[in-house]
Structure 1
Amino acid sequence: MTLTMQDAATAEAVLEPDLPIIDPHHHLWDGPQPRYLFDDLLADLDSGHAVEATVFVNCWAMLKADGPEEMRPIGEVEFANGIAAMSASGKYGPTKVCAGIVGDADLRLGAAVERVLERQERAGGGRFRGIRHILAHDPQVKLLSPPGVMATAGFREGFARLQALGYTFDAWMYHPQLPELVDLMEAFPEAKVVLNHVGGRINVGTYAQDQDAVRAAWLRDLTTLSRYPNLHVKLGGLGMPFYRLGFDRTTRDAPSAELAEAWRPLLEPCIELFGTRRCMFESNFPVDKDSCSYRNLWNAFKRIAGSSSATEKSDLFSETARRFYRL
């Protein structure tokens, strides 16, 4: 999405500008996608919302160019911590950017993953909180991972070390894989897990032909997952093309009222099932930047949470993320 001069001239007013926000899911990178680095994020943060802090989530950025393959993700944590150090100077505004850092580690290493986690802890300067091992696999969308990873012995052994050390796990998968997450939570019911992007409900290919069945399966698996008290959900990521909401195919800045109407059917069931203490709104920028501006994204979330109590809003916009990532 490329904003025009007309978009800038008719920009929405910020709703509830004093409501504290922690953005628990954004990326920074320098290609192959369009560059999105500290200055770009700062420009979005300057939209008028009261964003107190952010959490950087792995996106395979700035991996080390040499050394053992399993240690290459250390570079991403070092990179994010460098941005956090710049932000902590106060020179770039009040938001504590990258106050929490979610890195990457291949849990299929088994117990040997502990060495990678130890290095990330040192590289994170006290900000490293956990990892995201990307698990998304579906031939009709995009293959980011081999199939069946969560069930392998190596992954389970590595996950056990992650849990024992007290780190968080960001789970990114598509909705047909949710039963695999149920199996993982059954084996590790106390693990601190957050499901990314409301569980990746697909609306392309054959899935688009029977969205009623897709919704039923998605709700069934979310209902099962909601029984695990340490499992949380990130509310966002709906600008990605496989959700097929269409905002990514326009050159205008989608109004927050339209976004809220399209997003409610995916976000409200999660809030109803998990409660506000286990749900957190996320920007997923710059990925969702193709669909809307940072200002309108948070305005849309505020519209969706409009009837919530002050405590519930506090949970959704900041406190759930603050607790989960220990900010």
Structure 2
Amino acid sequence: MSTAIDLMGERFLQSGDNADLPIVDAHHHFWDLQRNYHPWLRDLPRIPFRYGDYEAICRDFLPEDYFALDAPHHVVKTVMMEGEWDPRDPVGEAHWATTLNARCGFPNAMAGQVWLDRDDVADVLHEYKSMPLVRSVRHKPVAVPRSEHTATFAAPGSMRCDRWRAGYALLAASGLMFELQTPWWHFTEAVELARDFPGVTIIVNHTGLPADRSVEGLRAWRTALAELAGCANVRLKISGIGERGVRWSVERNGPVVWDAIEIFGVERCMFASNFPVDSVVVKLDTLFAGFKSMVADLKPLQRLALFHDNATTLYGL
């Protein structure tokens, strides 16, 4: 498999043709709702969601479902993100993903669920150390709407919460990276986290959630992103940039992607699908084709880095 992937990368570098481009999908989900409990996908009423009505994704989504959607693109490896599995059993999803990998070869790495401010955090991290599939963990810190955010924000469960930070401090010894999903106006707290714990790699999910596409909103997002980019231990996933009630398009999302790459640099960014969640606003083929068109003017080596090499290196694939 690895030899075939290496040859695919070499073929792309020679041709420069996006049709030959191997892809590592650095952020997606699998779930089996017939067997496993994801509260937000199974319980009624449905929770408020940034894309609006998400009933369409409240169904099983397994590797065979994913790969039925990816043609004509060459997704060669994937990184599965925790899907808000039953919080009473944080490691259960990683055990399930391990059996999934044994059955079909996917996912090739994953981010496990953790609760940094819970008493079981040390035990959960210890168990993940014995699971080769797990490379990182995610715990969404408490966040508030931009209108309610202040410079001194430090709510329980937030990135300035002493208990939350005590759990975060254990990550360096665990060797696991941290997946940060939070709106960009909380990036000041994220900068503090990155600087206070330089031994932990932070991987920003969904480009910092730039949902406000007003001139002022995008300007503030760029400023926050640039501040966080000043921390050498931070990487950026270009994913999850859809808008509520708006079909995903290059015209709407190209400027966000170009700014993100300019701010973080090609070497610290990677593309990802966030499927099946982003299927609410876009088809997988359209998404990957759109990402490819956005960076068509870059050199082949840079495109290979964004779609494949950066994620391969970061997640040890």
SS at match of 1:289: helix
1:113 aligns to what? 121
2:5 matched to which residue of 1? Answer: none
**Counterpart position of 1:86:** 103
Equivalent residue number for residue 93 of structure 1: none
Residue 91 (structure 2) aligns with: 74
* 2: CA distance, partners of 1:140 / 1:177: 9
Match of 2:68 among 43, 46, 68: 43
* 1:25 aligned residue: 27
Q: Aligned partners of 1:240 and 1:286: how far apart in 2?
A: 15
**Which residue is 1:8 aligned to?**
none
Match for residue 201 of structure 1 among 183, 200, 210: 210
In 2, distance between residues paired with 1:79 and 1:179?
Answer: 35
1:120 deviates by 2.6
Alignment of 1:279-290 (within 5 A): 279-290=269-280
* 1:147-177 superposed Cα distances (whole Å, 9 cap, x missing partner): 6611111221211111222211110011221
Alignment pair present for 1:275 and 2:265: yes
Correspondence for 1:151: 160
TM-score of the two chains, using structure 1 as the length reference = 0.77
Aligned counterpart for 2:79 among listed residues 31, 55, 59: 55
Shift of 1:320: 0.9
Aligned residues: 271
Conserved? CA contact 2:141–2:182, under 8 Å: yes
The 3-state SS of whatever aligns with 1:107 is coil
Q: Is the 8 A contact 1:84 1:99 kept in 2?
A: yes
CA displacement 1:164-191 (0-9 Å, x = unmatched) = 2221111001122111111211212332
Match of 1:183, SS? helix
SS at structure 2 position matched to 1:232: strand
Identity %: 30
1:225 pairs with 2:228 = yes
User: Please, which of 231, 236, 254 is the counterpart of residue 264 of structure 1?
Assistant: 254
SS of the equivalent of 2:18 reads coil
User: Which sections of structure 1, spanning at least 5 residues, go unmatched?
Assistant: 1-14, 89-96, 248-253
Specify every segment of 5 or more residues in structure 2 that has no aligned partner in the other structure, as ranges: 1-16, 34-40, 43-56, 148-154
Distance 1:48 1:147, change over 3 A: farther
- TM-score (ref. length: structure 2): 0.79
1:177-222 Cα distance to aligned partner (Å, 9 max, x none): 111111211212332111111101232xxxx7xx222222211111
1:34 aligned partner? 58
Query: What amino acid is the match of 1:158?
Result: G
Q: Does 1:236 align with 2:242?
A: no
Q: What's the CA shift for 1:82?
A: 1.6
Question: What is the distance in 2 between the residues matched to 1:17 and 1:261?
Answer: 22
Structure 2 Cα separation of the partners of residues 106 and 233 of structure 1: 22
- In the other structure, the counterpart of 1:12 is none
Pairwise CA distance, 1:59? 1.2
Aligned to 1:133: 139
